[in-house]
Amino acid sequence: MTGSLFKGNFWSSDILSTIGYDTIIQHLNNGRKNCKEFEDFLKERASIEEKYGKDLLNLSRKKPCGQSETNTLKRALEVFKQQVDNVAQSHIQLAQTLREEARKMEEFREKQKLQRKKTELIMDAVHKQKSLQFKKTMDAKKNYEQKCRDKDEAEQAVHRSANLVNPKQQEKLFVKLATSKTAVEDSDKAYMLHVNTLDKVREEWQSEHIKACEVFETQECERINFFRNALWLHLNQLSQQCVTSDDMYEEVRKSLEMCSIEKDIEYFVNQRKTGQTPPAPIMYENFYCPQKNAAPPGKATGPNLPRRGPLPVPKSLPDDPDYSLLDNYSLIYQ
């Protein structure tokens, strides 16, 4: 806290000027506006975090993700879905935290506004008093100067009338001169009184200006410190959100480390196996001379009966012209 820079650097040589005070007020207004902008930023960021958290929650709870997996990979996916749910909840919680920080910023702004209002009311009053007294002093000065000019003219008129014979005319001039001298004395006293009053008003204004500078500088130091700390805290909250999310994802990684390809394959085989005997080879089967041990297509070998009975004994003798043999095949001519 410096406490002395404002009161030593915001003056003007013009007694009616308020440029120093106005400059400080403008700076404080800008600072208040900056706090409001950060407050709005926090609120909007909170809305984004809340929407993201709710969207992530819906994704985690409604969207299938490897639902037919089994054994160790299934357990890892269950941990994954649960941790995504937890991350979503943490973002929703972060949104509430950010809204709370925005509320604190708003309370700080309003508190400084009320504190400033008291000082501003005092400064507005002394500024008006100073301007009013300055105007009265300048009016008194003009009146005093005019009375002096009137006295000078009366003296010159008396000097010019020194050779006049008419005593009544000279008497009138002397009366006018005496009256003008009295008017000068009265206006001089009034002018001096206003000057003294103005000086007291100026000293009062100067004292209040110094007090206002000290109050405003203290407020500005507090505002910068509060704003800085609020921003620092905001970044810490965002960093913590990242750490929290990573911790949750680490649980998924640990679960994935427990996955076993061999166990998952073995589990699937044990749960869904259909048999250990493959089909027998498909053997060639002669339509007329089926082999005794030929296996039916696609079936394992085993006891099998001939599909057809033995060839019938021909009624005709081999030398019968209607009967002949060709390479062990019987041909009957019709």
The string of DSSP codes covering 279-307 is PPP-----SSS--TTPPPTTS-------S
Cβ neighbours of residue 94 closer than 8 Å, sequence gap 6 or more: 46, 49, 53, 237, 241
Please write the tens of the pLDDT for every residue from 32-61.
999 999 999 999 999 999 999 999 999 999
Q: What is the pLDDT of residues 277-312, one digit of tens each?
A: 999 999 888 888 866 555 555 554 444 445 455 555
Q: How confident is the model at residue 171 (pLDDT cuts 50, 70, 90)?
A: confident
Complete domains list, the chain, with CATH: 28-265 (1.20.1270.60)
Which residue has better confidence, 86 or 301?
A: 86
Region 5-18 average pLDDT: 94
For residues 103-116, average pLDDT = 96
Indicate the pTM of the whole model: 0.74
Average pLDDT for the chain: 88
Q: How many percent of the chain have pLDDT more than 90?
A: 73
Q: What percent of the chain has pLDDT over 70?
A: 85
pLDDT at 70 over 50: yes
pLDDT at 106 exceeding the cut of 70: yes
Query: Token match 């929703």: residue?
Result: 92
Q: Residues 20, 12: contact at Cβ < 8 Å? A: yes
Computed over its alpha carbons, how large is the radius of gyration of the chain? Answer: 56
Please determine, for residue 331, whether its predicted confidence score (pLDDT) is greater than 50: no
Rounded distance, CA 39 to CA 230, Å?
10
120-129, 170-179, 247-256, 319-328: which range is least confident on average? 319-328
pLDDT, one tens digit per residue, over 205-244 is 999 999 999 999 999 999 999 999 999 999 999 999 999 9
How many Å from the N-terminal Cα to the C-terminal Cα in the chain? 130
Contact between 296 and 304 under an 8 Å Cβ cutoff? The reply is yes
Give the pLDDT score at 291: 63
Look at 3-7, 134-138, 188-192, 258-262 and tell me which has the smallest mean pLDDT: 3-7
Question: At 313, is the pLDDT very low, low, confident or very high (cuts 50, 70, 90)?
Answer: low
Give the per-residue pLDDT at 326: 46
